[in-house]
Amino acid sequence: MALADRGHGVGHERMEIPVPRDGGIGDLLREAGRAERRFDAVICESIDRIARHTYLATEFEYRLEQAGVVLWAADEPIRTGGRSRRPCTPLKSL
């Protein structure tokens, strides 16, 4: 499913999870690009749970990185107070 189409399901409403849902991945990416965003980091269970297709997970990670938002996966070491896990190199036009 395309990133813009994800996050609109209601299946989570059947579970009693005390964390409110505040939009989907598309909403998160839009807010990440705003100067006044409400967060500096995103945490997920694991990178492979973001999307079934590697391309979409990589695009999600790249777009957060370009916005200056750190993506942490609970199944990976989390580093704070320093550089992200890899340096960001913006793409250049050919």
Split at pLDDT 50, 70, 90, the class of 1 is: low
The CA distances from residue 64 to 11, 30, 68, 73, 90, in Å, are: 26, 10, 6, 13, 12
Split at pLDDT 50, 70, 90, the class of 30 is: very high
* pLDDT mean over 1-26: 73
Q: Is residue 46 within 8 Å of residue 27, measured between CB atoms?
A: no
Q: Burial level of 67, CB count in 10 A (0-12/13-18/19+)?
A: middle
Three-state DSSP state, 47? helix
Residue closest to 46 by CA, chosen among 75, 66, 14, 79: 75
* pLDDT mean over 56-79: 89
Percent pLDDT > 70 in the chain is: 73
